[in-house]
C-alpha cells in the first residue's frame, strides 16, 4: 500500500490548536496496515480520526489517496472483489 494526502489532512487542527500532523498520519497508516486491515477500512478510520481531531468540521480541502497492489494479473479481480464494500459484477 502507498498513500498520499493534501495539507488539509496533516494540518487539521484539534484541541489546543494542535495539528493532526504528518507523524500522526504516518503512524496511523503503519499501525492500521500492520493490523492487517483492508485498505478501504484503513481509509474509513483515517477520515474518522481526522474529522474527530477537527471536531467534525474541516476548514481546508482534505484529500487522501491510497493505492494497493493486488497482483500482476490484470484479468484477476478476485482480490478486489474480496475487499469490503465491493460486490462482484
Transcribe 35-46 into DSSP letters: TT--HHHHHHHH
pTM for this predicted structure: 0.73
Closest CA to 64 of 47, 52, 79: 47
Tens digits of per-residue pLDDT, 4-20? 888 888 887 766 777 88
Please give the sequence-ordered ranges of beta strands (E in DSSP) within the chain, or none if there are none: 2-5, 64-67
Under the banding of pLDDT at 50, 70 and 90, the label for residue 45 is: very high
List Cβ<8 Å contacts ≥24 apart for 50-54.
Answer: 50/9, 50/12, 50/20, 53/12, 53/13, 53/14, 53/20, 54/12, 54/13, 54/14, 54/20
Amino acid at each position: 500500500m502507498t498513500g498520499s494526502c493534501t495539507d488539509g489532512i496533516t494540518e487539521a487542527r484539534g484541541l489546543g490548536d494542535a495539528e493532526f500532523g504528518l507523524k500522526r498520519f504516518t503512524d496511523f497508516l503503519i499501525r492500521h496496515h500492520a493490523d492487517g486491515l483492508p485498505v478501504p477500512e484503513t481509509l474509513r478510520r483515517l477520515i474518522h480520526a481526522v474529522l474527530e481531531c477537527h471536531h467534525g468540521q474541516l476548514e481546508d480541502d482534505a484529500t487522501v489517496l491510497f493505492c494497493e497492489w493486488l497482483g500482476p494479473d490484470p484479468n484477476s479481480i478476485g482480490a478486489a472483489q474480496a475487499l469490503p464494500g465491493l460486490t462482484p459484477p
